[in-house]
Chain A
Amino acid sequence: MSDKITNWTRSDDAMVEGAIRRGASRRDLMKMLLASGVALSAGGAVFGRATSALAATPKSGGALKAAGWSSSTADTLDPAKASLSTDYVRCCAFYNRLTIIDKDGVTHMELAESIESKDAQTWTVKLKTGVTFHDGKDLTADDVIFSLQRHLDKATGSKVAKIAAQMQSFKAVDKTTVEITLVAPNADLPTILAMHHFMIVQNGTTDFSKGIGTGAFKREVFEPGVRSVGLRNTSYFKDGPHVDSFEYFAISDDNARVNALLSGDIHLAATINPRSLRMFEGVDGFTLSKTTSGNYTNLNIRLDQGFGAKKEFVEGMKYLVNREQIVASALRGLGVVGNDQPISPANFFHNADLKPKAFDPDKAKFLFDKAGVLGETIPVIASEAANASVDMAMMIQAAGAEIGLKLDVQRVPSDGYWDNYWLKAPIHFGNINPRPTLDILFSLLYSSDAPWNESQYKSPKFDKMLLEARASLDQDKRRQLYAEMQVMVADEAGTIIPAYLSNVDATTSKLKGLEPSPLGGQMGYAFAENVWFDA
C-alpha cells in the first residue's frame, strides 16, 4: 500500500473538516477514512491540515468580495420580502434578528437578552441594552413590534405571513421589553424568530433601500440587480466584523462564478455545481465548505390510491433504494444518507438512533411477492424539476429489474411539474427546502391536515403528538416526542427520503472562519460578519 493518496479531493477535505467541527474524535476520523478506503498513514496528514484551519484567531482588515448566484432588479433590503439567497446575505449584513441558530442547531440570543414564557403562549422578550441603529438611534421595543407586526399586514407582501399569523398581539412593557401573545401555545417561538425574514428594522421605516439596521455593516451602495457594498459598523454591539468592507453581487453563470474565484477576483463563490468541483482539483489555495442543511429530493408513494394502498409494496420500496449509491453517483458525493424522515442531522432534534434502511433486494422481493405486485407495470414520475430525481429513479428502476419489479419511469418536463404532478401522481418525486423547526416541517408535510401531505399520511396519534410537542416547554419531553415522530414518519409514511442534499461553497484559503450552518450555505447566509483574512 502506498502512502500517497491518489483519490483524495477537496470535497473529502471539507467532509473531514465538517466531522471535526461536529466533534469527531481522532478515532472516529480514522474509522471514517478507513471506511472510505484511504491509507492510514495518510490520515494523520489530512487531520493536521483540517485542524490548523480551525485553530486561528481572527485578524482585522481587508475588503471582502463575494458572489452568489441569483440577483435581479427585484433584489430587496426589506427582510419581509427577502426571497433569494442574495437578499438573505444582505439582510444578515445590515440587520440582526432577536435570536440566531448556531452550527449545531441550537438557538441563541442575538438582539434579545432573553425570551421567556411560562405557558408557551405569552412570551416576554427582553432586549439587549446599548444596541444602536446605523443612524445612531437606540434599539427599542417599538422597533421590535413594528418589525414583527408588519408581517401581518397584507400590503407588506411578507414571505412568512402564514407563520407570523400566530402572533396575535404585541405590547411594549417598557423601553426594552416586548410581550408577544400567540394564538395558541408554541414552544418554538425563539427558533421561529431566528428566520431571516424576522430581522429587526427601525420603527416607521418605509424606504428599505437605505438598509438602516443594527447589523455589522453600514450600507454604502445598494443597486438592485447589480451589487451592494457595506462598510464596517464601528459601533457594532458584537465582536466584529473582522473585514473593513463587504461587497456582494451575483454571478448567475456557474462557470463564470468559479472562474472569478480561481482568478482571484472574488474571495467566496456560493453554491458550486458538482460538475465544476473538478476545476478545484490540483489547484492550491482554495477551500470547499460543504453544508447539509436539510434540502432533500424524495420519492412519494400516495398511500390512498393505487399500489401505495398495499402496505407491503410501500415497505418493499424502502428496501429497494440503495441510499449509499444514490449519494455516491446521483449526487456525486454531495449528500448525506437519509432515513425516510425530513429532519436532517443538522437539526437540533434529529433522531440519530433512527438508522437508514439497508439496501436489501431479497427482503424487498419477499414483500413485493406478498403484495402481489411483481409482473405488473408501475409508473413512476420523475423530472428535472426535482433535483437529481431522474438519476434516482433510474437507479431504483435498475434495482427493481433485478428482482422482477417493473417500474416504468416517466420523465416529464420541469415546466408545470409542481402544479401538474407533485402531490397528484400516485408515485412521483418531490423536493423540499429546509425549514427551521420540526413543527413547521411536520405541520406542512405530515399532519393529517397538512397542505403538502405528499403521501397522504394520516395518523391521529401523530397529530396529537405534534400539538403536544408544540405546546411543551420541556426540552427533554419534546426531544422524546420528536424522536418517536421521526420513527413514525420513517416507518409509516409513503415518503422515501434517500438522502439530504449538500451545498458546497468555495473560498480562497486566505478566508477563514466560514462554518457550516443548518440554516443553509454561506454560513446560513451570515458569513460576512464572521469571516476574516489570514495574511
Chain B
Amino acid sequence: MNKRILSLAANRLAIALITLVIVSFAVFFATTLLPGDTATILLGQSATPEAVAGLRTAMHLDDPAILRFLHWLMGLAQGDLGTSYANNMPVAALIGGRFVNTLKLAAITAAIAVPLALTLGITAAMWRGSVYDRAVTILTIGIISVPEFMIATSAVLIFAVYLKWLPALSFTNEVSTFYDILRVYAMPVLTLTFVVSAQMIRMTRAAVVETLSTPYVEMALLKGASRPRLVLRHALPNALGPIVNAVALSLSYLLGGVIIVETIFNYPGIAKLMVDAVATRDLPLIQTCAMIFCLGYLTLITLADILAILSNPRLR
C-alpha cells in the first residue's frame, strides 16, 4: 500500500513541475497581450515617448520581455523569486506576510467549514427526504445563489454598523488576544464559510446517498447494523473519494480567489496582490502569485487522492 502511495506522490511531483512550467508560460503570454508596460502605467497621463524610454532604461525594462521572463525562470529554479518592477522590492518580501495572512484565513475557514459541511451533508443523507434534509438542501442552494459581496456587505451592515459588535475591517496586525482573533476573523470567516460550505454539503450528501443505495449497505442493514454504524462504517469510507475531492476544490479557492472578501474587509492577502500586480504589469509578481496558486491547487488535489486511497480498502 505504501509503495502505491509513494509512486503516486512521485508521479504527481513530476507532473506538478511540468504543469508549473506550462502555466508560467501561459501566464507570460497572457501578460504580454495586455496593453502597456510598467513604465507607461507608472507615468500615466505624463507618459510622453521620451519619458517612457527614459524610465524603461532606468528600470532595466529594455530587454525583450521573453528574455526577462526566462531570466526570472532561471532565478526561480535557484529559489530567487525576483524583484518587483513597480516598487523595486524583492518579491519574496512583498508576498511573505500577505501569503501568511491568506494561509491563516484559509486555515481558520477550513477548520470551521469542513467539519460543518461534512456533518450537515452526512446527516442530511442519513435522513434523506425528511424535513431536516429539505431544510438543509434549501438553505445550501439559497446560499450558493447569493453572491459573496452581498453576504459580506450585509454582515458588515448588521454586525459592525448597527450592532457595533465587530470591527468592519480586519486589521490582523493589531491582534494580540484570542478574543481579538475571534472579533477580527468572525466576519471574513463567516462569509467564506457560507461560500465554500454549500458546495461541500451538496457533494457530501450526494456521495453518501449514492453509497447508501448499494447492495453491501443493504446487506449491512439486513445484518442489523445500527444506522450510525451503517453510515459511518460502511457507506462513508466508500464515499470519501468524491467528498475529499470536493473539499480540496473548495479549499483551493480559499488560496487565491477570495479577492472580494479581501477588498471588503481590507484584509491584506495574496489575491489583491495578484490584482495589483496585473494592474501594474509587474511580471515577476504576477508569475510568483500564479505559481503559488497553481502549487496550492496541485498539492490539495494530490492530498485528496492520497486520502481517497487510504480510506478505501479496495484501493489500498
Q: Which residues of A contact B (CB under 8 A)?
A: 67, 72-76, 81, 83, 153-162, 209, 223-227, 249, 251-253, 255-256, 259-260, 262-266
Contacts and interface: CB of A to CB of B under 8 A. Distances in A.
B50 A154 contact: yes
Contacts of B46: 158-162
Contacts of A153: 54
A156 B273 CA distance: 25
Interface in B43-59: 43-44, 46, 48, 50-51, 53-55, 57-59
B282 interface: yes
A251 B58 contact: no
A260 B98 contact: no
Interface of B: 39, 41-44, 46, 48, 50-51, 53-55, 57-59, 84, 86-87, 89, 94, 97-98, 153, 156-157, 160-161, 164, 167-169, 171, 263-266, 268, 272-273, 276-277, 279-280, 282, 285
A263 B168 contact: yes
A211 B265 CA distance: 27
A62 to B, nearest CB: 16
B161 A73 contact: no
Contacts of B94: 73, 224
A73 B156 contact: no
Contacts of B272: 225
B89 A256 contact: no
Contacts of A252: 263
9 contacts: A73-B285, A154-B51, A154-B58, A161-B46, A209-B87, A225-B272, A255-B153, A255-B264, A259-B156
A264 B164 CA distance: 9
A225 B270 CA distance: 11
Given A83-B44, A265-B171, 6 more contacts: A73-B87, A155-B55, A224-B87, A253-B264, A256-B168, A260-B160
Contact of B84 (A73, A81, A157, A265): A73
A83 B87 CA distance: 13
A225 B42 contact: no
A263 B87 contact: no
A75 B53 contact: no
Nearest to B58: A155
Contacts of A255: 153, 264
Nearest to A279: B161
A419 B277 CA distance: 25
Given A161-B51, A263-B168, A265-B167, A74 B266 contact: no
B39 to A, nearest CB: 7
Contacts, number: 119
B169 A251 contact: yes
A255 B48 CA distance: 36
Contacts of A259: 153, 156-157, 160-161, 168
Contact of A226 (B48, B55, B157, B268): B268
A73 B266 contact: no
Contacts of A224: 86-87, 89, 94
A72 B98 CA distance: 13
A260 B276 contact: no
A450 to B, nearest CB: 15
Given A155-B54, A225-B272, A225-B273, A74 B161 contact: no
Given A259-B157, A263-B161, A157 B55 contact: yes
Given A161-B46, A253-B263, A265-B168, A73 B282 contact: yes
B276 A225 contact: yes
B273 A73 contact: yes
B5 to A, nearest CB: 40
B280 A256 contact: no
Nearest to B170: A265
Given A74-B86, A265-B160, A155 B168 contact: no
A207 to B, nearest CB: 9
A193 B265 CA distance: 38
